[in-house]
Amino acid sequence: MKDRDNGFSLEMPKVGIIKGVLAKDIEIVGGKVVNLRTCSRPYSNIYSVAQLRTIKRVTERYGSGKVHLSPRHNLEIPEVKQKELDNALKELYIAGLFPGGAGASVRNIFTCPDWCSKSMRPVQELGKVVSTYFGDRDMPNKVTISFAGCYNCCSRPHNTDIGIIAVGRLGVSGGRCKNDCLECIKVCPFGAMEKKDGHIKINDGCTDCGKCIDACDDDILRLKETGFRVFIGGKEGSTVMFGKEYSGFVDDFEVMEIIERVLNNYQKKVALREGSRKKKERLGEVVERLGLDSFMS
């Protein structure tokens, strides 16, 4: 796509049913109208005011004035006139928006916002790094990756192919509770807090969610370190699957290594879905067939 008068040049893959646009990023409606999917590069679920103004202008000028925000924070612009597609793509490109976010590939990385008061630790930056290295990688079927900054898991990491949850290991001081409030025991959703002889104890039910820390007014509980819990093989859709826990506590670099291994193993060990001649298994279906240990070996 070139505009010599304005010095604009954008080379896009020469594949798909519309020249210059990946087939997985557009959907034909009739013969003259397309639905266009776009997102930031590297992937981000935060759009600037300037980008939103561009979306408004493009949808009104070239489409039908409508835009859809997908569950993974892609922007979908329906009913773009096919003859105006190049102009729409040019304006989106200048604003830092590119076709993408669909098809058999690593989809838009999903993270919760860093400013959430419940966040155990920020996840936006790590999500951007993962997007830079793995975003849009061709896969046997679609692959979703979600980061959650705390155990509330608003970003649905349990139902994605690779789910990463920020967690924090606790420390308990040797002092006794001053006011005998038992708030930490009350707020723990896993029954992991106990009180024995005036002292707070943490049992094996602890998931490192950290909910008890804010509830403690006596500074008996403290955060020692943060890390991530990793789940593999979840999915949504007509058949919902919950990911299986693979690592209970890993750091940023280990998260990257795990994602790399999961994607490589998926490509090597995937098979056709039962009864299908073309459609390949989702990652979670491979894990179910082989077992998590065998899949990751």
* pTM summary value: 0.84
Which of 71, 99, 127 terminates a domain? The answer is 99
Q: Is residue 221 part of a domain?
A: no
Q: CA-CA-CA-CA torsion for 19, 24, 26, 29, nearest 10 degrees?
A: 110
Q: Is residue 183 part of a domain?
A: no
Q: Is residue 220 part of a domain?
A: no
Give a three-class secondary structure readout of 24-52: HHEEEECCCEEEEEEEECCCCCCCCHHHH
Token code pair at residue 6: 């304005």
Same domain for 84 and 158: no
Res 49: pLDDT: 95
Token code pair at residue 33: 């109208």
Same domain for 163 and 16: no
Bridge pairing between strands 145-148 and 110-111: parallel
Same domain for 250 and 162: yes
pLDDT, mean of residues 11-22: 43
Which of 78, 99, 120 terminates a domain? The answer is 99
Quote the number of domains for the chain.
2
Task: Band the pLDDT of 17: cuts 50, 70, 90.
Answer: very low
Res 13: pLDDT: 34
Task: Band the pLDDT of 14: cuts 50, 70, 90.
Answer: very low
Range of 7's domain? Answer: 2-99
Same domain for 159 and 95: no
Same domain for 126 and 49: no
Encode pLDDT of 179-209 as tens digits: 677 888 888 888 888 887 777 888 888 888 8
Same domain for 65 and 7: yes
Task: Band the pLDDT of 58: cuts 50, 70, 90.
Answer: very high
Same domain for 79 and 143: no
Same domain for 161 and 118: yes
Residue type, 257: E
Which of 68, 99, 130 terminates a domain? The answer is 99
Cβ-count burial 66-104 (b if 16+ within 10 Å, e if not):
ebeeeebbbbbbbbbebeebbbbbbebbebbbbbbbbbe
Encode pLDDT of 131-181 as tens digits: 889 988 899 999 999 999 999 999 999 999 999 999 998 888 765 676 677
Same domain for 37 and 87: yes
Same domain for 95 and 17: yes
**Is 142 within 8 Å of 130 (Cβ atoms)?**
no
Tell me the C-alpha distance between 71 and 54, whole Å. 21
Same domain for 234 and 135: yes
Encode pLDDT of 64-117 as tens digits: 899 998 888 888 898 888 888 889 989 999 999 988 777 788 988 889 888 888
Same domain for 58 and 139: no
CA 224, distance to chain mean position in Å, is 26
Cα distances (Å, whole numbers) of residue 10 to 20, 100, 113: 9, 15, 31
Give bridge partners of residue 193 from the DSSP assignment. 202
**Is 88 within 8 Å of 58 (Cβ atoms)?**
yes
Res 144: pLDDT: 94
What's the CATH number where 258 sits?
A: 3.30.413.10
Encode pLDDT of 236-258 as tens digits: 988 899 999 999 999 999 999 99
